Amino acid sequence: MGADFDPSKERLVAGLMSGTSADGVDVALVRIDGSGVNVSVSLVAHDVLKFSTAVRQRIQSCQGAAAGSARDITLLDAYVGELFAHALLHLCKKAGIGPEEVSAAGSHGQTLYHNPTPTPLPGFTVTSSLQVGNPSVIAERTGITVVSDFRSRDMAAGGQGAPLAPYLDYILYHHRSRSRIILNIGGISNLTAMPAGAGLDDLIAFDTGPGNCLMDLAAWHYSGGKQTFDSDGAMARKGTVDTDMLAALLDHPFIKKAPPKSADKEEFGTSFLDQILLRHAGMPAQDILATLAAFTVKSINSAILEFCIQSARYEEIIVSGGGANNPVLMESLQAALPKLIITRSDEYGIPGKAKEAVLMAVLADATVHGWPSNVHAATGARHPAVLGSITPGGSFFEKAPTRTGLE
Amino acid sequence: MGADFDPSKERLVAGLMSGTSADGVDVALVRIDGSGVNVSVSLVAHDVLKFSTAVRQRIQSCQGAAAGSARDITLLDAYVGELFAHALLHLCKKAGIGPEEVSAAGSHGQTLYHNPTPTPLPGFTVTSSLQVGNPSVIAERTGITVVSDFRSRDMAAGGQGAPLAPYLDYILYHHRSRSRIILNIGGISNLTAMPAGAGLDDLIAFDTGPGNCLMDLAAWHYSGGKQTFDSDGAMARKGTVDTDMLAALLDHPFIKKAPPKSADKEEFGTSFLDQILLRHAGMPAQDILATLAAFTVKSINSAILEFCIQSARYEEIIVSGGGANNPVLMESLQAALPKLIITRSDEYGIPGKAKEAVLMAVLADATVHGWPSNVHAATGARHPAVLGSITPGGSFFEKAPTRTGLE
């Protein structure tokens, strides 16, 4: 493979991510130097290409157990590939970087279905995850070597294919003398607990339960589709937490389950919210929002108290994801955990909003060098694994291709 | 990448294929020596792992435009990966070869939907092909580097993603002074016309239309599901060709269309046969079979006369695929083309039944070396391309992985 993959040289790597909520493509250009978990990572450029409503609906029509069809999913695979390629080329242009300067691009793809539950079929029990966004389309349009399908290898090795974030968390936030919890509040919320001086295989990492997903769905519901989230927690702030409803929510088996565990968006999705709204039909919208916000905070709080504090005396929580921008969540979290210093990941060089795309870049860089990047203690996999599949771009092979006519 | 990929050394490569009819996995172990299209290829072992009826039905429930769902397709992706890995390990054991001796495995996967027709979606027009059989599952179970998803890159470059066979045909059958037609009669029938002394980019290759698919479906229909094909053409031999029905069949727009062209199994599938049976409700079964056999032969004959004979004076047809074992087809073909010498590919060192799996091995070997392997004159792609995605096995990287704890 190409000289670009010499780990003694600094390289530019791209990352592409679209979350389960299908809002748009997050794309990052990252400068990486060094080797293995000792790499240094700095953000060069970041952008979000928002999906139109039509695109989001096309994606959503293929998400979930019974959704989609062979044809719709096949078309979507190429289509999301085109969208990702477009986003990547657009960011390169904006940053004044030629695609030929980019050594690799990590593409998460768009998840259609994630099934970490061992499912018996004749002769084999399987777990699996389906991401669309065909890497050959991205490699062909950009000329860049693409690494994709990061979750499948970990799952094939007995893991849940999630969370992937702890690898980057470790690289960015490991500390010899401070014990830290790294919390990402996206649609689903996940944390990585990192005792002072811990190695990559000593981390505790898992999904804590809902992040913004239920609040987002409720904001959408109450605004008649006009708001996709409760901006600044404005609605939640006006409401009062209903303690009975909160207690019932915290009774959810996922919250009580010991890690490793990963949550499906569907687990805290539309049908879950519908049940809540039905059961509390008379409750004012702001009280529902306030209680859902409290559910997110209490489930995080409970995860820390139940599953983390045995391992170290944690001093700091570093928060990223959309939830870091919701002052109601951040204030409640501080109130629930008064002894911990709560900071936002933005203060550590990688803005929270770019973190998932940066993760994809770091994972791609690991894979093209042959470095395992699953945190198997977090995913439950039996061993470290080099993640994903490599679709060669123009510079992947050192030599020019042989295609001589012959005899 | 590993020393295994030094093209100056002989290597063992595996190939895995499951056709659209989902009968089972074809697996081959191949010894390859040399570089680019100048490689020599010899078959070491070949086997077929037949799918049970339950497995075939599970696959078929996800094939076709409206079939399947996100969950079913996701589960099937891992499941077919397990089946392929099992077939590969089984053949290695049978052949007394350790998986660690195999430098790479090419996996076609199981096609669920193939859409070479440019399809406009908001902002982008796409073509695409969906194969399941997750390569991470195969790499994890076998430790072998897997190359998969061969069709997508060609399609991203404007091609139809098919046929792939001409690359192997060229390697096996190119001749300085003999002009040859290489014919594969599988479910769908395809040919490669190879003028004497032609280079890889001077070939004519395309699907000619039905191979055995319609006859197989009719045999299944008339036997009440007891026969999956008309063995030795026994039914067809008893029947008489209905010239009106044959003329109507040959009127199909696919037959008349100039190459490049690739046929979908659905184009000559169940609903097409149902129409025929409805229109000829009184006709005896053997006459239907005889006429369908004639349709296959005449469509091949017409393809050669319309689209090939301008390029060279062809002397020989080399036939592979299930159709090569159907004496009725072979005799009718010889009668239709009396001046051509018709031979079976088995006589050239690679048994016809192993050819598609051998193709997958040869394509994988090309990709791990960075050699383009699409025959773009045949697929319609704009340029040669390195096909597929590489999922690293144990020996893909030269160096042991770095995963040191740090600071």
Section A343-372 average pLDDT: 92
Put simply, the chain B residues between 251 and 280 with a CB less than 8 A from any chain A CB are: none
pLDDT score at B398: 67
Residue B3 has pLDDT above 80, yes or no: no
Asked if B390's CB is within 8 angstroms of A391's CB, the reply is yes
pLDDT score at B248: 96
pLDDT tens-digit map of B338-378: 999 999 988 888 887 898 999 999 999 999 999 999 998 88
Q: Cα separation of B219 and B222, whole Å?
A: 5
> Looking up tokens 């811990």, which residue turns up?
A198
- Asked whether residue B126 falls in the same domain as residue B200, the answer is no
pLDDT score at B163: 87
Is residue A396 domain-resident? no
Domain CATH for B282? 3.30.420.40
Residue B258 has pLDDT above 60, yes or no: yes
Is residue B151 domain-resident? yes
pLDDT tens-digit map of A255-313: 999 988 888 777 899 999 999 999 999 999 999 999 999 999 999 999 999 999 888 99
**How confident is the prediction for chain B on average, in pLDDT?**
92
Q: Which residues of B touch A369 (CB under 8 A)?
A: 397, 402
Buried b (16+ CB within 10 A) or exposed e, A345-376: bbeeebbbbbbbbbbbbbbbbbbbbbbbbbbb
Q: Which residues of A touch B81 (CB under 8 A)?
A: 156
- Asked whether residue A147 falls in the same domain as residue A283, the answer is no
Is residue B405 domain-resident? no
Is residue A148 domain-resident? yes
Q: What is the distance, to the nearest Å, from the Cα of residue A143 to the centroid of all Cα atoms in its chain?
A: 25
pLDDT score at B402: 44
Q: Which residues of A touch B69 (CB under 8 A)?
A: 65-69
Distances from the Cα of A267 to the Cαs of A40, A56, A213, A254, in angstroms? 36, 20, 10, 9
Q: Which residues of A touch B66 (CB under 8 A)?
A: 69-71
pLDDT tens-digit map of A307-322: 998 889 999 999 988 8
- Asked whether residue A238 falls in the same domain as residue A335, the answer is yes
Minimum Cα–Cα distance from B83: chain A residue? A124
Mutate which of B38, B63, B71, B376 to disrupt the A interface (most A C-beta within 10 Å)?
B71
Q: Do A150 and A388 touch, CB atoms closer than 8 A?
A: yes
Residue B17 has pLDDT above 90, yes or no: yes
pLDDT tens-digit map of A319-350: 988 899 999 999 999 999 999 999 998 888 88
- Asked whether residue B181 falls in the same domain as residue B277, the answer is yes
- Asked whether residue B202 falls in the same domain as residue B327, the answer is yes
- Asked whether residue A320 falls in the same domain as residue A374, the answer is no
Please check whether residue B111 touches A, CB under 8 A: no
Asked if B77's CB is within 8 angstroms of A130's CB, the reply is yes
Put simply, the chain B residues between 179 and 198 with a CB less than 8 A from any chain A CB are: 197-198
CA-based nearest residue to A247, from A276, A282, A218: A276
CA-based nearest residue to B328, from B209, B184, B207, B212: B212
- Asked whether residue B153 falls in the same domain as residue B209, the answer is no
Select from B82, B397, B404 the Cβ nearest to the Cβ of A124. Answer: B82
pLDDT-wise least confident of A72-81, A351-360, B398-407: B398-407
Q: Which residues of A touch B67 (CB under 8 A)?
A: 69-70
Q: Cα separation of B37 and B228, whole Å?
A: 37
Torsion sign across C-alpha atoms B75, B77, B83, B86:
negative
CA-based nearest residue to A356, from A11, A46, A145, A9: A46
pLDDT score at A401: 46
Mutate which of A402, A404, A407 to disrupt the B interface (most B C-beta within 10 Å)?
A402
Section B70-78 average pLDDT: 97
pLDDT score at B303: 96
pLDDT tens-digit map of B294-319: 999 999 999 999 999 888 899 999 99
Is residue A407 domain-resident? no
pLDDT tens-digit map of A91-147: 999 999 999 999 999 999 999 999 999 999 999 999 999 999 999 999 999 999 999
Is residue B364 domain-resident? no
Amino acid at A325: N
Rounded to a whole number of angstroms, the CA Rg of chain B reads 21
Q: Which residues of A touch B392 (CB under 8 A)?
A: 367, 370, 386, 390
CA-based nearest residue to B378, from B171, B192, B187: B192
DSSP letters spanning A182-199: EEEESSEEEEEEE-TT--
What is the DSSP secondary structure assignment for residue B399, as one 8-state letter? S
Size of interface A-B (CB pairs under 8 A): 267
- Asked whether residue A224 falls in the same domain as residue A297, the answer is yes
Distances from the Cα of B108 to the Cαs of A130, B27, B45, B356, in angstroms? 18, 11, 18, 9
Asked if A74's CB is within 8 angstroms of B113's CB, the reply is yes
- Asked whether residue B21 falls in the same domain as residue B95, the answer is yes
pLDDT score at A121: 96
Is residue B329 domain-resident? yes
Q: What is the distance, to the nearest Å, from the Cα of residue B20 to the centroid of all Cα atoms in its chain?
A: 9
What is the DSSP secondary structure assignment for residue B378, as one 8-state letter? H
- Asked whether residue A209 falls in the same domain as residue A345, the answer is yes
A15: containing domain:
3-166+354-391
Please check whether residue A281 touches B, CB under 8 A: no
A10 Cβ neighbours under 8 A, 6+ residues apart: A31, A32, A33
Section A228-236 average pLDDT: 94
Minimum Cα–Cα distance from A405: chain B residue? B199
- Asked whether residue B328 falls in the same domain as residue B204, the answer is yes
Section A149-157 average pLDDT: 98
Asked if B35's CB is within 8 angstroms of A70's CB, the reply is no
CA dihedral A136, A105, B370, B388 (to 10 degrees): -30
B9 Cβ neighbours under 8 A, 6+ residues apart: B3, B33
Asked if A134's CB is within 8 angstroms of B156's CB, the reply is yes
pLDDT tens-digit map of A49-70: 999 999 999 999 999 899 999 9
Please check whether residue A119 touches B, CB under 8 A: yes
pTM for this entry: 0.86
Instruction: Provide the domain count of chain A.
Output: 2
pLDDT tens-digit map of B160-200: 999 898 999 999 999 999 999 999 998 899 999 999 999 88
pLDDT score at B4: 54
Reported confidence tier of residue A406, pLDDT bands at 50, 70, 90 = very low
Complex prediction ipTM: 0.86
Residue B136 has pLDDT above 50, yes or no: yes
Burial of B220 (C-beta count, 10 Å sphere; 0-12/13-18/19+)? middle
Is residue B370 domain-resident? no
pLDDT tens-digit map of A9-38: 999 999 999 988 888 999 999 999 999 999
pLDDT score at B399: 53
pLDDT score at A403: 45
Mode of pairing for the β-strands spanning B40-50 and B102-121:
unpaired
- Asked whether residue A338 falls in the same domain as residue A370, the answer is no
Q: Which residues of B touch A141 (CB under 8 A)?
A: 156
pLDDT tens-digit map of B86-130: 999 999 999 999 999 999 999 999 999 999 999 999 999 999 999
